[in-house]
Structure 1
Amino acid sequence: MALTGAFRKLDRLIRFTDRLRQPQFAEGLAKNLGQAALNQIDESFAGQKDPWDRPWKPSARAEATGGQTLRKTARLQRSMTSKSALQTEPEGFEVGTNVVYAATHQYGATITPQQKKALRFKMGQRWVQAQKVQIPARPFIPEPELSPRWERAFEEAAEAYFQQEVP
C-alpha cells in the first residue's frame, strides 16, 4: 500500500496551524488589525466623513476659514493615529486617546455655561455670546458595530497577515 498526496501542502498546513497557537502570532495579528483601525480613523479625518462614509457636518470655523472640520491643529487626529494610540496583546487591540474633547466629537454634546449666564467665545474676529452650543456628533470610530468600510479593512489586514510565509 502506498500513500500519495500533496505532502508539502499538508506539512505547510500543519506548520501554519502550529503557528496559530503561538501568542506572538495572535499579537502580530492584533497589531495588523490595530494598524488597520488607525488607518481607518485617519481616513475619516482626511475625508471628513464618518466610518459609514457619511460627510461630517462642517464646523463653523471650517466654513468661515475654508479649513477642515476637526483639523485646525490636527491634535485629535494625531492622537488617534499615532503608534502610541494603539495598545496590543494576544487577546486583541485597543485604540485610544488622552485628548479630553475626543468624546465630544465622537458622540456630540450640548455645551452650557456652568458659572456664568452665557458662553462667550470668539468666532473669527468678533466675540459672541450664547446660552448653549450644540456640537454635532462627528464619529471617527464605528459604534456600536463595525461599518462596512472597517469590516473590509479588517478582512484585508487579517488576510495579509495570514498570507505571510510560514517559516
Structure 2
Amino acid sequence: MLIINLDDSQCQRTLAQLLRNASNSRVIMQGLATELETMTTDNFENEAFGGQAWVRKAFGNGKTLTKTGELKDSVTSSASSTTATIGTNMIYARIHHFGGTITPKQKSHLVFATPNGFAKVKSVTLPARPFLPVSSDGQLQSDGDRRLIEVALSALTSGT
C-alpha cells in the first residue's frame, strides 16, 4: 500500500499573503506609476516610443526633446488605490507627444531661430514624438504590458 500525505500549510500561508497584498491595491498602483515614469525616462534616453525611434529634430545638436531637460524633468507620476497616473504640466507637451501644426494666433507669421538665421513661416508641423508610454489611441507602448505585469506580480508576491 502506498500512502501520500500532502501538507498544504505552506500553500495556505502563501495564498493568505497574496490576498493580504492584493487587498492593499495602493502599493500595486504606486509600483505601476513608478514603472510608467521609468518607461518615460527610457523613452527620453532612447529617443523612442518603446523602441520605435522618434523623428529626429530638424537642426541643432543634442537629443530630441531634451534641449533644456525641462520637459523630461516635468514628468510626474502619482497613485491612489484605484489609479496609476503619469503626466506633465508643460503647455507644449501635448504638441510634442501627439504632433500637430502650430499657427500664429495674433501675427501673420511665426518667427524662430535656425542655424542659418531666422525663419518666417505661416505654420510649422511637428511630428508626434510620444514620450509618455501611452499612444494617442490609448495603447501602451511595446513591451509595456510585460513590464507592468512584472511590477504587479512583484507587488502581489512581496507586498512592496
**Common fold, TM-score beyond 0.5?**
yes
CA contact (8 A) 2:27 2:159 kept: no
Please say if 1:50 is aligned against 2:57. Answer: no
CA-atom RMSD in angstroms = 1.9
**Taking every aligned residue pair, what percent have the same amino acid on both sides?**
24
CA deviation vs aligned residue, 1:76-106 (integer Å, no higher than 9, x gap): 11111xxxx1121100211121111110111
Distance 1:68 1:165 in 2: 38
Larger RCO, structures 1/2 (Cα 8 Å, 6+ apart): 2
The answer on 1:101 being equivalent to 2:81 is no
> Matches of 1:93 and 1:17 in 2, distance apart?
20
The answer for the alignment partner of 1:10 in structure 2 is 12
Question: Match for 1:60: what amino acid?
Answer: A
> Structure 1 unaligned runs (5+)?
none
What is the correspondence of 1:107-126 to structure 2 with a 5 Å cutoff?
A: 107-124=98-115, 126=117
List per-residue Cα deviations over 1:7-58 (Å, max 9, x = no partner). Answer: 132133123313422xxx210100101111001001111000013x211111
Q: Find the aligned partners of 1:4 and 1:99 in 2 and give their Cα distance.
A: 59
| 1:17-166 correspondence to structure 2 within 5 Å | 17-21=19-23, 25-51=24-50, 53-61=51-59, 64-65=60-61, 67-80=62-75, 85-124=76-115, 126-141=117-132, 142-143=134-135, 144-164=138-158
SS at match of 2:158: coil
Which segment drifts farther, 87-96 or 7-16? 7-16
Residues 165 and 119 (structure 1), Cα distance of their counterparts in 2 relative to 1, 3 Å cut: closer
Cα deviation 1:109-138 (Å, max 9, x = unaligned) = 211122222111111361111111111110
- Which has the larger share of helix? 1
Taking the aligned partners of 1:148 and 1:120, their CA distance within structure 2 comes to: 37
Comparing 90-99 and 109-118, the one that deviates more: 109-118
**Count of residues in Structure 1 that have an aligned counterpart in Structure 2:** 153
Verify the 8 A CA contact 2:66 2:72 in the aligned structure 1.
yes
Stretches (4+) displaced over 4 A: none
Displacement of 1:165 in angstroms is: 6.3
Give the C-alpha shift of residue 159 in structure 1: 2.1
* TM-score, normalised with respect to structure 2: 0.86
Q: Distance in 2 between matches of 1:41 and 1:10?
A: 39
Offset at 1:153?
1.2
